[in-house]
Amino acid sequence: MTTTDLDKAIPSPSTLFTNAKLVGRPAGNYNVLIQDGVVKSITEDDMSLPEGIETIDLKGQWLSPSLIDWHTHFTMNAIASRRLNFYTALSAKEVLEAVRKAINDPAYDEGGRLVGVNVRVGEWTDLPDLNREALDAISHKPIVLILNGYHSGVLNTAALAINGLTPEQYPTGVLEEEPAFAMWGKLQETAPTDVVDRWVADEAARAASLGVTEIVDLEMDHNISVWQRRVGNLFDKLRVHIGFYQPHLHEAVNAGLKMGDAVPHTRELVRAGPVKLITDGSLGSQTAYCCDPYPGTNKRGLFVYEEKELANVMGQATTAGLRVAVHAIGDDAMRITLKSFKAEAAAGRKALSGSTIEHAQLVQQSDIETFAGLGLIASVQPRHMIDDRELCHKFWPGREGRTFPFKWFVEAGIPMKMGTDCPVTELQPWEAMACAVSRAGEGQEPFCPEHLIDIKVAYAASTQNGRLDLVEGDRADLIVLAKDPLQLDAAGLRAMQVEGTMLGGNWTYRK
């Protein structure tokens, strides 16, 4: 494919859907014409069309805008899908036994290393048993166990040595925050690029089968060249908004990219996304930065920036013409983040419209008005609420009513966007919606039900156009569904089957 071809959008055929029901529209049988990659016409009247246009009788199936995942780490997710997964493990003993069984299994061999993911420690009484010495006793091969949230992990001596670390520096083998991030990046270099790109394509196809046509990719990488390579090798299943971390911001500036600009040579599938700033840690590692100490300690977590430094970096992104996406989990991280946004606005560098606060897991009610007044978006991952409910009780006792406060956001008029933070949780938008409307996993009681939101809010927070329905002039990024999602409860959402997914008028999935 030539460079000229790579700078053109993918052409698409014309398609007429007949006898369609439309999500978010009054009852009726609609005819929907797709032409030149957009929704050309929506009518209940018959259409006279030239020959050669494919006509698809939906026989009462539903058409909807397709879905977007607003927070992914897509390369990491593709690699994690091939790793030993401890999501269901209930104790350190169970984890260690699984490592013992898998240590020589070629399915989990990463260049002579074993990497496990999604270790969810919760209320484990034997957690101290999960340490460097226990892993050393299993094998002298490098063993890395990444805790759920990806902000911390446990390594044996051989694994520490991968990045030049020693047992004297990390006696328990536990890495947190920057040392952990550096290690995860080092581990991702193991698989050949073409293999990883194939895994990424597989995950994109799986996303398409769930109705997803668009992602925000917040991978810590040189995302411009990575995605140019993938599209050059015929990647075509998703639209991708690439994030930039502070070390990569100059790449966007040097390329002359502003927010939403198409990245050259990507067939208009890849666009400049936000600058990602991480202000604090995670709940599981007790590094989320909170107003109150963690129980039994005098520690409040970790705040990455000096206040003035955070505001300055926000301003750099705004000056470069890019939105910011600020990771803030603890309530003091949220307070300082909002203060920094406010200071930048007062200095004439108000963050671009569409800028987000990512996660927003613990919030002071007194900060909600400030949040709303700044015009920011709450980018949330509802499945975290289910996975972290034990940790909320353990580490934020008495504050549970301020966690994942979706209802406060809705009542204050703060727009919400939803995602998964994959691979921290599975890329599964229907599960995310189910968690948002029930605040419960399957078979559980709701967690802080006062913050329940309805399906219309959750669905609009998940669609690529931010609405419930398709309108004329929309991009032809749509899905075909057997049922109306707006009439489903959590169980129905979890059972949703997508019949087909279309991106720009081209099928990316058909059942």
**Structure confidence by residue, pLDDT tens digits, 121-166:** 878 999 999 999 999 999 999 999 999 889 999 999 999 999 999 9
pLDDT exceeds cutoff 80 at 296: yes
Dist CA 217 CA 242 (whole Å): 5
- 263: its two tokens: 């990245």
Dist CA 265 CA 259 (whole Å): 17
Percentage of residues in the chain with pLDDT exceeding 70?
100
Model confidence at 49, pLDDT cuts 50, 70, 90, reads: confident
CA dihedral of residues 457, 458, 459, 465 (deg, nearest 10)? 70
Dist CA 217 CA 237 (whole Å): 14
For residues 59-69, average pLDDT? 99
CATH class of 1-65+469-511: mainly beta
Helices of type H across 374-460: 382-387, 389-395, 406-412, 429-438, 455-460
Average pLDDT value over all residues in the chain: 97
Which pLDDT belongs to residue 190? 81
Model confidence at 4, pLDDT cuts 50, 70, 90, reads: confident
Instruction: Report in angstroms the alpha-carbon separations of 26 from 23, 30, 78, 374, 469.
Output: 8, 10, 40, 35, 10
Which pLDDT belongs to residue 201? 98
Pair 246, 100: CB distance under 8 Å:
no
Percentage of residues in the chain with pLDDT exceeding 90?
95
- Residue 487 DSSP one-character state: G
CA–chain centroid gap for 428, Å, is 10
Model confidence at 177, pLDDT cuts 50, 70, 90, reads: very high
For residues 271-286, average pLDDT? 97
Which pLDDT belongs to residue 88? 93
pLDDT exceeds cutoff 90 at 1: no
Which pLDDT belongs to residue 408? 99
Q: What is the pLDDT of residues 305-319, one digit of tens each?
A: 998 999 999 999 999
Model confidence at 46, pLDDT cuts 50, 70, 90, reads: confident
Model confidence at 383, pLDDT cuts 50, 70, 90, reads: very high
Q: What is the pLDDT of residues 70-87, one digit of tens each?
A: 999 999 999 999 999 999
Which pLDDT belongs to residue 146? 97
Check: CATH 3.60.15.10 for 74-187?
no
Which pLDDT belongs to residue 3? 73
| Best CA proximity match to 84, nearest among 128, 38, 115 | 115
1-65+469-511 against 196-468: fold identical: no
- 64: its two tokens: 């909807």
Which string of DSSP letters, residue by residue, matches 82-148? TSEE-TT--SHHHHHHHHHHHTT-GGG-BTTBEEEEEE--TT-TTGGGSSHHHHHHH-SS-EEEEET
SS3 158: helix
Map out the domains of the chain as residue ranges.
Answer: 1-65+469-511, 74-187, 196-468
Model confidence at 359, pLDDT cuts 50, 70, 90, reads: very high
> Can you identify the CATH homologous superfamily of domain 196-468?
Metal-dependent hydrolases (3.20.20.140)
Model confidence at 419, pLDDT cuts 50, 70, 90, reads: very high
Q: What is the pLDDT of residues 454-483, one digit of tens each?
A: 999 999 999 999 999 999 999 999 999 999
